[in-house]
Amino acid sequence: MWPRFEQVTSRDVLERLPFLDLPFDRYGMDPYGISRHHLGLFMTLLEGFYKHYFRVRCFGLEHIPKTGAGMLVGNHSGGIPADGGMIVASLFFSLNPPRAVHGMVEKFAQEWPFVSQWFNRVGQLPGLPEHAIRLLHDGRLLMVFPEGARGLGKLYKDRYHLSHFGTGFMRIALQTGTPVVPFAFIGGEEAMPTIFHAKRLARIVGAPYWPVPPYLLPFPLPLSCEIHYGKPMHFPGNGNEPDEVVEGYVEQVKSVINLLVTRGRAVHEQRRSGANLSEPTP
């Protein structure tokens, strides 16, 4: 006999799920196909990593919109998308009331059996513009990594150096009138220091790269991490602006994220050295 949902879901998750901003029906499903059951199991898994493995500390949670649409935009790092999982966990476990945040899954991951179905069930949807626009029009939170796989797969020697930002996210933010909330994820580069890519393995699994750390196993170390959320950024326009205007907006976002990364790394070093922490002003 399969265990009951309550038996495999943590107490904290069970207490927070009813306050999550998702309109589950009587069958535990929301209009996007998110399953309350799957989400509870997923959050229980993330809880261990968020609270104990990475011991994540958050700054600037007051900048997350309490209601309505918002686009969370930040740096991508760490070889595997643990940063995205910790962003999801931070808004569930550290925000009161909790909010769900939807990620846009890379195309290659959508082709993996079982994994792609689980992504959909927990609110991480295929990275198509129409999905992003619909989510934002419905007042949801969207998580975006403009560096894409380039940022996630960067080598340790290039840690915290932001790769090229695409402009698609900005046009969608303008079209939907959505504020951009910049963030910096700190610690992922140290937890998973990628020293080279195993190209043959990547081709076998259909991934753009296969990260190889010094200890060979592509899994992050249990090192502390921080998330720094900045103030919402608002931009005028409707998404039809000339490329140079949109690119200018993107550079503004990138500059703020760079600043958050710089300040966040200073806080990270203080934390590791045991010094007293004070929240930086973004």
Note the pLDDT of residue 275: 53
Amino acid at 144: V
Instruction: Report the length, in residues, of the chain.
Output: 282
Helices (H), the chain: 5-8, 11-16, 36-48, 82-93, 107-110, 115-121, 129-137, 149-152, 168-176, 188-191, 199-205, 243-273
Assigned fold of 8-17+27-273: Glycerol-3-phosphate (1)-acyltransferase (3.40.1130)
Distance from the first to the final alpha carbon of the chain: 51
Kindly tell me the number of DSSP H helices and DSSP E strands found in the chain.
12, 9
Per-residue pLDDT tens for 5-36?
777 899 999 999 999 999 999 999 999 999 99
- Model pTM score: 0.91
Q: Is the pLDDT of residue 48 over 70?
A: yes
* Residue 167: partners with Cβ closer than 8 Å, 6 or more residues away: 243, 246, 247, 250
In which band, very low, low, confident or very high, does the pLDDT at 277 lie, cut at 50, 70 and 90?
A: very low
**From CA 273, how far away is CA 269, in angstroms rounded?**
6
Nearest to 137 by CA among 167, 96, 177: 177
- Beta-strand relationship, 196-197 and 211-212: antiparallel
Note the pLDDT of residue 125: 83
